[in-house]
């Protein structure tokens, strides 16, 4: 029989292991948080994204909202922000309160940002009064923002405001915050805050999610369409045209396969280009200039290339040589620019590493196949040339 001391010790060990295995998401909620000075707030929310929490109280008599916002920066030395957007959902136009550790003093400080556009993240005065601002570390890697906000009369009458929250990776030596990520959790970090605290359980859990989810879905569709088009089908079409036509038995099958592949790639690419335009129109202030310009160039070059079907002269035509230069030059330009822009897009979407690795494996595989076929076809060409003195690489 085990002794009472042994039972007690084993029970203690089991309890300790059980407690240590509870995930932070389960064991840490807004109701378990306390603040310096034992300040109390009647309402708190476990915000659905970015491991963020909000405590607040609202005095309807003078339209004053007192808040404590807590979240871990996306990287050590990063920043957190909580904002009210008086005119729309999302960050553009938001009146933001930002906290970060000062790069020089290593002390948590608070700044305000009136975000007129995503490209302008310069500290400035907000459209409404903010006071009693303070920032502190919670000892677990998170930062906290304390503030009191004067709610504008029109929003106070509605008793609801659009709230936005965000975290970022770092701060420059001069105090300018670095751009945050654009993962799904970043894009969805918005919602409606009921100042009375009545509807926040439902609204905050899904607030803004529909719009954010739609934006993320469109970004993913844009990425998939363009990867399949410029990053896969166009290279495959070029491989078919360059190597299959070497074999007389493959004529004219190689030509129809080449046309089918490139036409499919063009149609899918146009769809991807259109989704990119839509995303750009919905993301005012966010610009990826290089990626956008590359996409426009790809669309223009591919459209010109489609005219090759109408302008293609017969093999013995005197202009066929010039047509070959035009067709091959644009084709290889699309190949290089398309793959380059796919990688630019992957850097923007920042998907799971496995997706980027998968594309690298696919495009490397196509490159390896092309190298093997290049060597093989040159062997065939040289043998044929020695016996028949023909030029098998002519279009």
Q: Give the 3-state DSSP-derived string for 112-149, with helices as H, strands as E and coil as C.
A: EEECCECCECCECCCCCCEEEEEEEECCCCCEEEEEEE
Looking only at the bridges linking them, the beta strands covering 160-168 and 190-194 are antiparallel
Q: Which pLDDT tens digit goes with each residue over 152-171? A: 888 888 888 999 999 988 88
Q: For 59-82, what is each residue's pLDDT tens digit?
A: 888 999 999 999 999 888 889 999
* Over residues 332-355, mean pLDDT: 84
Picking from 170, 191, 207, the residue at the C-terminal end of a domain is 207
pLDDT of residue 204: 40
Q: Quick check: 312 pLDDT over 90?
A: no
Is the pLDDT reported for residue 211 higher than 50? no
pTM above 0.85, yes or no: no
Same domain flag for 64 and 87: yes
Collapsing DSSP to helix, strand or coil, 166 comes out as strand
The CATH number for 177's domain is 2.60.40
| 220 & 201 share domain | no
Are residue 261 and residue 190 in the same domain, yes or no?
no
Q: How do residues 251-267 score in pLDDT, each as one tens digit?
A: 888 989 999 999 999 99
Torsion of the alpha carbons at 345, 351, 354 and 358, rounded to the nearest 10: -20
- Asked whether residue 201 falls in the same domain as residue 219, the answer is no
DSSP code for 38: G
Q: Does residue 1 have a pLDDT over 50?
A: no
**Rounded Cα distance, 80 and 147, in Å:** 14
In a domain, 231, yes or no: yes
Per the structure, the count of domains in the chain is 2
Whether residue 248 is found in the same domain as residue 315 = yes
300 and 269 in a common domain = yes
Last residue within a domain, chosen from 189, 207, 225: 207
Q: What is the mean pLDDT of the chain?
A: 79
Range of the domain at 358: 214-388
* Burial profile 197-214: b = 16 or more Cβ within 10 angstroms, e = fewer: beebeebbeebbbeebee
Determine the longest span between alpha carbons in the chain, in angstroms.
103
Give domain status of residue 16, yes or no: no
pLDDT of residue 395: 45
CB atoms within 10 A of CB 49: 21
- Euclidean distance between CA atoms 23 and 118, whole angstroms: 35
Residue 241 C-alpha from the chain's centroid: 35
Higher pLDDT, 167 or 119: 167
245 with 280, same domain? yes
CATH of the domain at 320: 1.20.120.1770
The answer to whether position 320 is within a domain reads: yes
Task: Indicate if the pLDDT at residue 3 is higher than 70.
Answer: no
């Amino acid at each position: 029989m085990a002794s009472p001391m042994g039972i007690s010790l084993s029970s203690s060990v089991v309890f300790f292991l059980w407690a240590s295995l509870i995930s932070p998401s389960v064991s840490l909620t807004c109701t378990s948080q306390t603040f310096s000075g034992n300040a109390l707030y009647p309402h708190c929310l476990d915000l659905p994204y970015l491991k963020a929490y909000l405590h607040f109280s609202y005095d309807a008599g003078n339209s004053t909202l007192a808040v404590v916002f807590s979240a871990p920066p996306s990287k050590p030395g990063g920043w957190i922000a909580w904002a009210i957007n008086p005119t729309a959902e999302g960050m553009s136009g938001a009146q933001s309160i930002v906290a970060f550790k000062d790069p020089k003093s290593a002390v948590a400080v608070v700044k305000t940002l009136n975000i007129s556009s995503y490209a302008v993240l310069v500290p400035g005065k907000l459209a409404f009064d903010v006071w009693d601002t303070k920032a502190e570390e919670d000892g677990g890697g998170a930062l906290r923002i304390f503030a009191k906000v004067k709610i504008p009369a029109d929003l106070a009458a509605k008793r609801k405001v659009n709230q936005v929250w965000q975290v970022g990776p770092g701060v420059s030596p001069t105090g300018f915050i670095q751009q945050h990520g654009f993962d799904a959790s970043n894009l969805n970090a918005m919602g409606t805050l009921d100042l009375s605290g009545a509807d926040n359980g439902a609204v905050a859990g899904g607030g803004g999610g529909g719009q954010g989810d739609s934006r993320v879905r469109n970004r993913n569709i844009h990425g998939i369409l363009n990867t399949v088009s410029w990053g896969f089908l166009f290279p495959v079409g070029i491989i078919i045209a360059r190597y299959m036509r070497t074999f007389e038995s493959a004529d004219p099958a190689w030509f129809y396969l080449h046309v089918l592949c490139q036409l499919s790639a063009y149609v899918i690419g146009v769809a991807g280009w259109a989704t990119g335009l839509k995303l750009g129109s919905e993301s005012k202030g966010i610009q990826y200039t290089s990626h956008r310009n590359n996409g426009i160039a790809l669309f223009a070059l591919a459209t010109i290339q489609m005219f090759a079907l109408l302008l293609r002269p017969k093999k013995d035509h005197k202009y066929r040589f010039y047509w070959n230069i035009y067709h091959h030059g644009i084709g290889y330009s699309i190949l290089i620019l398309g793959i380059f822009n796919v990688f630019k897009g992957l850097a923007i979407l920042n998907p799971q590493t496995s997706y980027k690795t998968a594309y690298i494996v696919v495009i490397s595989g196509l490159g390896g196949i092309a190298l093997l076929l290049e060597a093989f076809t040159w062997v065939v060409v040289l043998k044929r040339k020695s016996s028949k003195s023909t030029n098998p690489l002519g279009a």
